[in-house]
């Protein structure tokens, strides 16, 4: 799929922008703090109804404005797609082909994007929260069922934590806790089995890509780390049983602490290169390659699941990669994946890519195809 047109209103430092894009490569060129990342973020938010760099939607609305609006025309193998997202202080609304979607989970994933930004190094080094966010965003855009289970899990978790706080002070009902625990187990199992399956599929691609980028020297493994043991042999009912045991064992401790101690909200991912933990032992370069392999794997995974390549957003990373990694990346996407690149300088981008691209000049929240003099 590719983005043909984009309309942005009152988003970050953009008052009003209307753009038509190149089918292959689009380069946003400009000095720092002009709005390059903002425009990439707008495309990301248009597809996923969430920003990659903040969870506070209010920050996305232009200062002093009541709302922001992003609209785009996407070309697909099937029918063309018109999507629109309106962000206001009251919340978000998504429209697909003019029809307002009752739930945001029905809007998310109509268009698919993969972003690779400097922050993605945090995927390996950062806190577990970063990796869970990655899981939820990426799996969420290819599985509505997952988004639905996840949202319900979070709702029940909140209720359960609230009750545990009450119980901690000797009030509230333990019967109610058992009811909520049973509800949560069903949802926790659904979330867990889907995350596990996603990581297994992603691993297949990532391992191959990492192998190539490391010139055959390294074997990358991704592990899903959960409160319960998950493996290929295990099914939904076994996972539920395992969660049941966990919550039975920690019940008194949870009441004492007044919080849910185990579950998908505490899960994590682990990365191994040649059987060594990348977080602990990996060099900067290995962490970078791991993050790159993950992102490239996502592109292939989305293609396998959806039958269309996603739109790729590269924020400030192209010139950061060494020649070998850059050419590997460009080879992967060559002609197949519409790509948006931000940079302060085109000299870091190879000739062949420049030849099949449109350059947009970004300056103080305006974008033009002509360089200002
Ligand atoms: N909600 C907002 N409303 C208006 N301007 C904003 C908002 N959020 C960020 N900005 C401005 O956007 C600019 C940064 O844009 P960004 O896209 O991150 O720059 P870069 O070109 O370096 O990627 C800053 O000048 C910042 O003040
Ligand atoms: Mg930037």
As for how many domains the chain has, the answer is 2
Residues 84 and 149 in one domain: no
How far apart, in whole angstroms, are the C-alpha atoms of residue 203 and residue 285?
Answer: 19
Question: Are 296 and 348 found together in one domain?
Answer: no
> Quick one: 35 and 71 in the same domain?
yes
CATH at 63: 3.40.50.300
Q: Whose CA is nearest to atom 7 of ligand 1?
A: 12
Q: Is residue 83 scored above 80 in pLDDT?
A: yes
Asked whether residue 39 carries a pLDDT value surpassing 80, the answer given is yes
Residues 335 and 287 reside in one and the same domain: no
pLDDT score of 347: 85
Confidence of residue 329 (pLDDT cuts 50, 70, 90): confident
pLDDT in tens, 91-106: 999 999 999 999 998 9
Assigned token pair, 99 = 């029809």
Atom of ligand 1 nearest to the CA of 28: 21
Site to probe by mutation for ligand 1, drawn from 12, 51, 69, 317 as the one with most ligand atoms within 8 Å of Cβ, is: 12
User: Are the C-beta atoms of residues 366 and 13 closer than 8 Å to each other?
Assistant: no
Residue-number span of the structural domain to which 238 is assigned: 116-303
pLDDT > 70 fraction of the chain, expressed in percent and rounded: 99
Q: What are the tokens at 186? A: 């069903």
**47-65: average pLDDT:** 95
Q: Is the pLDDT of residue 328 over 90?
A: no
Q: Please indicate, yes or no, whether residues 183 and 322 belong to a single structural domain of this protein.
A: no
| Any ligand 1 atom below 6 A from CB of 169 | no
Report whether 119 contacts 315 (CB < 8 A). no
Let me know whether 324 and 291 are in one domain.
no
Provide the percentage of residues in the chain whose pLDDT is more than 90. Answer: 84
The neighbouring-strand residues paired with 272 are 221, 277
pLDDT in tens, 117-159: 988 888 999 999 999 999 999 999 999 999 999 999 999 999 9
Lowest mean per-residue pLDDT among 2-16, 55-69, 258-272, 280-294: 280-294
d(CA 174, CA 169): 12
Question: Has residue 273 got a pLDDT over 90?
Answer: yes
Are 177 and 262 contained in the same domain? Answer: yes
Q: At 246, is the pLDDT very low, low, confident or very high (cuts 50, 70, 90)? A: very high
Ligand 1 and 30: CB distance under 6 A: yes
Q: Which of 151, 116, 152 is nearest to 134 (CA)?
A: 116
pLDDT digits (tens, 9 = 90+) for 178-197: 999 999 999 999 999 999 99
Same domain flag for 100 and 175: no
Q: Among residues 288, 303, 318, which one ends one of the domains?
A: 303
* Residue where the block lists tokens 């946003």: 28
Looking at all shown ligands, the one closest to residue 362's CA atom is 1
pLDDT at 349 over 90: no
Measure CA 15 to chain center: 26
Q: Which of 250, 283, 303 lies at the terminal end of a domain, its last residue? A: 303
Same domain membership, residue 194 and residue 96: no
> Does 338 lie in the same domain as 296?
no
Ligand 1 center to 15 CA (angstroms): 12
Q: Which of 287, 303, 319 is the last residue of a domain?
A: 303
**Residue 157 and residue 97 in one domain:** no
CA separation for the pair 61, 18 (Å, rounded): 17
Q: What is the domain-level CATH number for residue 196?
A: 1.20.1050.90
Residue 216 and residue 126 share a domain: yes
pLDDT mean over 313-337: 83
Arithmetic mean of pLDDT over the chain: 94
């Amino acid at each position: 799929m590719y983005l043909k047109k984009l309309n942005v209103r009152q988003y970050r430092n953009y008052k009003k922008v209307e753009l038509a894009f190149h089918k292959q490569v689009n380069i946003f060129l400009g000095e720092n703090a002009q709005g390059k990342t903002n425009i990439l973020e707008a495309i990301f938010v248009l597809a996923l109804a969430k920003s990659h760099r903040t969870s506070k939607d209010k920050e996305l609305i232009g200062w002093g404005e009541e709302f922001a609006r992003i609209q785009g025309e996407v070309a697909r193998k099937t029918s063309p797609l018109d999507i629109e997202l309106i962000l206001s202080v009251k919340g978000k609304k998504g429209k697909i082909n003019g029809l307002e979607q009752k739930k945001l989970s029905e809007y998310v994933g109509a268009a698919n994007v993969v972003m690779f930004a400097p922050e993605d190094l945090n995927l390996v080094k950062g806190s577990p929260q970063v990796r869970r966010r990655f899981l939820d965003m990426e799996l969420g855009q290819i599985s509505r069922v997952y988004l639905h289970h996840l949202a319900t899990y979070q709702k029940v978790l909140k209720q359960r934590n609230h009750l545990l706080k009450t119980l901690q002070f000797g009030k509230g009902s333990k019967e109610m806790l058992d009811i909520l625990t049973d509800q949560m187990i069903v949802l926790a199992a659904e979330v867990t089995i889907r995350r596990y399956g996603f990581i297994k599929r992603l691993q297949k691609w990532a391992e191959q890509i990492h192998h190539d980028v490391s010139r055959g020297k390294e074997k990358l493994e991704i592990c899903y780390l959960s409160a319960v043991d998950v493996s290929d042999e295990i099914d939904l009912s076994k996972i539920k049983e395992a969660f049941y045991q966990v919550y039975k064992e920690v019940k008194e401790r949870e009441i004492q602490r007044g919080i849910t101690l185990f579950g998908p909200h505490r899960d994590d991912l682990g990365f191994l290169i040649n059987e060594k933990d990348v977080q602990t032992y990996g060099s900067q370069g290995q962490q970078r390659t791991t993050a790159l392999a993950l992102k490239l794997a996502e592109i292939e995974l989305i293609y396998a699941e959806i039958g269309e390549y996603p739109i790729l957003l590269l924020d400030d990373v192209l010139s950061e990669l060494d020649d070998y990694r850059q050419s590997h990346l460009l080879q992967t996407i060559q002609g197949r994946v519409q790509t948006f690149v931000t940079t302060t300088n085109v000299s870091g981008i190879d000739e062949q890519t420049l030849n099949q691209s449109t350059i947009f000049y970004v300056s103080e929240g305006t974008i033009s195809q002509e360089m200002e003099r």
